[in-house]
Amino acid sequence: MASLSLQLSSLHHTSTTPLILRTAPLNLRTPTQKQFSIRSQSASVLSQDDLKKLAADKAVESVKSGMILGLGTGSTAAFVVDKLGQLLSTGQLSNIIGIPTSKRTQEQAASLNIPLSTLDMHPHMDLAIDGADEVDPNLDLVKGRGGALLREKMVEAASSSFIVVADDSKLVSGLGGSGLAMPVEVVQFCWKYNLVRLEGLFKELGVEAKLRLVGDGSEKPYVTDNGNYIVDLYFKNPIKDGFGAGKEISALEGVVEHGLFLGMATSVIIAGKTGVEVMAK
């Protein structure tokens, strides 16, 4: 099958002076993507959840008995956890240990009798499987719209392999290109100070920064499993230099983590109109 081709230096900032983003990335990478397709049911009769499940089932094929697994968070990752529970219950998998990336994933996995542990006890994992909010042509990601970005990044960075599962609506030509949130986890102390600084940092890209709320109609801020707030950045144009942007965000005092997952994915499994496609470096 034809190969799919989709598509600031770390400074210390104490003001909201806008930065002009460079067009060249700090890390020049030319990943070679290998791809194959598994023809499935016609996508015209499949819902988005059906597509997510197809991708999740394909990813779980890489799981072997005895593995230490990073368990992701979100609607697609939930299908992965469900499948693992099913395979354990039927004896098709055994002796696996899961490291959950959120409290809700921990609760789901425990309900399915999946043995669990922590990153402290298992600082190295064989494989992590998780969803993504955006996937660009280099297999770089935006993650964390589910609020678990810090734990996800910690666990997935400690894994030998990281498989991403998603439906084809998550494909973008450049990160931030969906116009949806790119999350930044910040401490509660003076969160507005950092919201203003983050917005100023990307002024040239027309960014709007918003404090994430719980979503129940109230003005109550969303609080992560780590007791922090999330500032969501909405880009009008894609980020041209993801590595530079990540460094600039991380340099701000009070920022805990950002939702740019760069150079981390080993492969991405996409379910779409032609079935399930695997993109690998």
**Residue recorded with tokens 């401490």:** 187
Which are the catalytic amino acids? Answer: 152
15, burial (CB in 10 Å: exposed 0-12, middle 13-18, buried 19+): exposed
**Residue recorded with tokens 């469900």:** 82
Helix 75-89 and helix 48-60: axis angle, to 10°? Answer: 50
Pull the structure tokens for residue 138.
């280099």
Q: How far is CA 115 from the centre of its chain?
A: 23
Query: Which DSSP state fits 169?
Result: G
Between CA 175 and CA 135 the distance in angstroms is 7
- Residues 225/102, Cβ–Cβ less than 8 Å: yes
144, burial (CB in 10 Å: exposed 0-12, middle 13-18, buried 19+): buried
How far, in Å, are 25, 35, 65, 73, 115 from residue 108 at the CA level?
Answer: 39, 32, 20, 10, 11
Between CA 76 and CA 281 the distance in angstroms is 22
- Across the beta sheet with 134-135, the strand order is 134-135, 141-142, 260-261
Between CA 235 and CA 199 the distance in angstroms is 10
